Amino acid sequence: MKQDLPPPTVQAFLVCSEILFDDRTQRFILVNPTHHVPVEHFPMQLRASIYMQLRGGHGRYALDLDLRNGEGDSVWQFRPCELDCTDPILPHTVDLHDLILDIPEPGRHDLVALANGQEIGLQILWIGPREFFAAD
């Protein structure tokens, strides 16, 4: 894959409990899109599905996901697929099911999407009890 390709633009990036596909309508059904996971015990494993819509790509890209803790340290990585963006005008959909993310501790976590190593999207996840994030 060429590294000098302009990366695609992320138009949607959601973390969900589940993603279903309706054969009748040919559309995705996103179940429980979330940004907060109110768990109490750590370390833990978070089962999640990810929906992304991209456009503007010009060729093939390695798609990577990188989960970073509040200090910016990577705590989980995954390369789910290669993107083949043959038409930069039409949206390209990525649906990833039943991923298991390792979460070592409560706090803010940034789920970063990268194409050929370039950051193209970010989804913030607040993982831990709501009280953990409350202001004093």
Cα separation of 75 and 46, whole Å?
13
- pLDDT score at 4: 73
In this predicted structure, the answer to whether residue 2 has a pLDDT above a threshold of 90 is no
pLDDT confidence tier of residue 87, bands split at 50, 70 and 90:
confident
CA atoms within 13 A on the CB side of 110: 13
Q: Tell me the whole-structure pTM to 2 decimals.
A: 0.91
Instruction: Pick one of 2.60.40.1930, 2.40.128.50, 3.40.50.720, 1.10.150.120 as the CATH number of 9-133.
Output: 2.60.40.1930
At 40-56, the pLDDT tens digits run: 999 999 999 999 999 99
Domain boundaries along the sequence of the chain: 9-133
